[in-house]
Amino acid sequence: MRFRLIAAVIAVCLAVSAQTMSVEKLRQFLESNIEMIKKGLSNDKELAAYLEKVKLTERLDERGVEDMQGEMRIGPKTLLVLRRLAADSASLPVAAPTAPPLKPRPIAPPTSEEQAAILDDVREYALNYSNTLPDFICTQVTRRFAAPTPGTKYGGRVGDDPRWQLEDTLQIRLSYFEKHEHYVVVLMNNSIVNKDYDKVGGSKAFGEFGTMMREIFEPSTETRFAWDHWATLRGQRVMVFNYHVRLDHSKFQIGVEEGHLHITTAYRGLVEVEPDTHAVVRIVQEAEDIPSYFPMKETSDVLDYDYQNLSGHTFLLPLKSQVLMKTNEAVIRLDEEFRLYRKYSADSEIKFDSDPIAPLPDDKTKETKDPGAPPKQ
């Protein structure tokens, strides 16, 4: 009722103090009132009555009425009034063409000298990252999905999205003590397990706490970096560099349990960096040139870092990792989320509830290309 009253007040003000209207203002007025009608806060008769008091300042032709009718669900009474307005405005001048909205001005990338200095800072940050971390424990929630590979008998057409099915959910006690990670699977599908992660079957990934970052920036890796783009991540502007690591300098390994096959591959990806601190907030890694004989055909990992509070101090720690693996028959996805960080001590514990932990909202890990600065008017 309150919204209905507001709409009525707007219409009365229009009738009393502003009985003239341009075609563009008419269009905007119709759009807002049609939305009111959709919500049941107004109706076609009321809108037509408001428009009876309007006089246009420029010509509305039949094509304009048809366009409005096509774009909006205009009721029959309002449509009759619009046609009357078109007839009454036939002698008025044609509306000036509306200028297209100005596009944001792209932000210039840093100069080559600035990029080199930024990457030096990021390298120092990456190589010292593990040394800056306190001892802690957290809950790692790993959801493992699988789907038939698109283009196969049960996978749909080539190019379709995989038809994901949740295979299982693991709640893992992850402890980081004296620069070493230890993973214990406490719950698997809400059943108590209490096993080391590497003794539990199925797909898994390791190395989220600094290993991936360090290997990319090790001088011996000789990673090639180049500017890629500005982006927005979790509401903050970030700098994005692409990178490539050759096979003869790579330590990136992928493996399959069947046959105990492991290979090292070249890889490429993206590193996303805070402009002010030059801290790494996202790493994208994708295997390259996997041999044709190897069962795994594609694999990639997207690792997000975010700020966490530990005993009154703030640290940039893993937030979520998403690993994708593809074989000829199946696609596998691991969604790993890191929750409930606590400072480590001998008696540190995290309560593991049988109720499932809800997944992180998509906007926490959604990156968008930064449109740039607003245009000057």
Closest of 45, 41, 53, 39 to residue 74, by C-alpha: 45
| pLDDT of 225 | 98
Total-model pTM: 0.70
Question: In the sheet where 224-233 sits, what is the strand order?
Answer: 191-196, 180-188, 165-177, 136-148, 330-343, 313-326, 298-310, 280-288, 266-273, 236-245, 224-233, 367-369
Q: Is 71 a member of any domain?
A: yes
Q: Is 96 a member of any domain?
A: no
Question: What does the mean pLDDT of the chain come to?
Answer: 85
Helices (H), the chain: 2-17, 23-38, 44-52, 62-71, 76-88, 112-132, 211-217
Q: Is 105 a member of any domain?
A: no
224 and 328 fall within a common domain: yes
Give mean pLDDT, residues 324-336. 93
Q: Is 93 a member of any domain?
A: no
**Tokens 């690993």 map to which residue?**
323
Under 8 Å between Cβ of 174 and 147: no
Q: Is the pLDDT of residue 14 over 60?
A: no
**What are the pLDDT digits (tens) for 232-244?**
999 899 999 999 9
Query: Dihedral, CA atoms, 270, 341, 205, 365, nearest 10 degrees?
Result: -40
144 and 273 fall within a common domain: yes
Q: What percent of the chain has pLDDT over 90?
A: 43
Determine if residue 320 is left, alpha or beta; phi over 0 gives left, psi from -120 to 50 gives alpha, anything else beta: beta
54 and 133 fall within a common domain: no
How buried is 161 (Cβ within 10 angstroms: 0-12 exposed, 13-18 middle, 19+ buried)? exposed
Instruction: Determine how many CB atoms are found less than 10 A away from the CB of residue 130.
Output: 15
Of the pLDDT bands very low, low, confident and very high (cuts 50, 70, 90), residue 10 is very low
Q: Is the pLDDT of residue 97 over 80?
A: no
**What are the pLDDT digits (tens) for 340-357?**
898 877 555 666 665 667
d(CA 187, CA 141): 10
154 and 199 fall within a common domain: yes
Of the pLDDT bands very low, low, confident and very high (cuts 50, 70, 90), residue 193 is confident
End-to-end CA distance of the chain, in Å?
A: 39
| pLDDT of 357 | 75
Of the pLDDT bands very low, low, confident and very high (cuts 50, 70, 90), residue 184 is very high
| pLDDT of 299 | 94
| pLDDT of 40 | 74
- Determine phi and psi for 71, rounding to 5 degrees: -80, -30
Under 8 Å between Cβ of 245 and 216: yes
**What are the pLDDT digits (tens) for 123-153?**
999 999 988 888 899 999 999 999 999 988 8
Q: Is 66 a member of any domain?
A: yes
208 and 334 fall within a common domain: yes
Tokens of 296: 């795994």
Residues whose CB falls within 8 Å of the CB of residue 207, separated by 6 or more in sequence, listed in order? none
306 and 192 fall within a common domain: yes
Of the pLDDT bands very low, low, confident and very high (cuts 50, 70, 90), residue 68 is confident
**What are the pLDDT digits (tens) for 197-235?**
888 888 777 766 778 899 999 999 999 999 999 999 998
Q: Is 49 a member of any domain?
A: yes
The CA distances from residue 195 to 42, 71, 171, in Å, are 62, 60, 11
Compare 285 and 40 and report the one with higher pLDDT.
285
| pLDDT of 115 | 97
73 and 122 fall within a common domain: no
**What are the pLDDT digits (tens) for 17-46?**
447 888 888 888 888 888 888 877 778 888
184 and 81 fall within a common domain: no
Domain containing 154: what range? 112-369
Which of 192-206, 331-345, 357-371 has the highest mean predicted lDDT (pLDDT)?
331-345
Q: Is 295 a member of any domain?
A: yes
Q: State the total domains in the chain.
A: 2
78 and 125 fall within a common domain: no
184 and 48 fall within a common domain: no
**Tokens 């805070």 map to which residue?**
274
Under 8 Å between Cβ of 285 and 301: yes
Compare 91 and 15 and report the one with higher pLDDT.
91
222 and 302 fall within a common domain: yes
Under 8 Å between Cβ of 107 and 230: yes
Q: Is the pLDDT of residue 4 over 50?
A: no
54 and 141 fall within a common domain: no
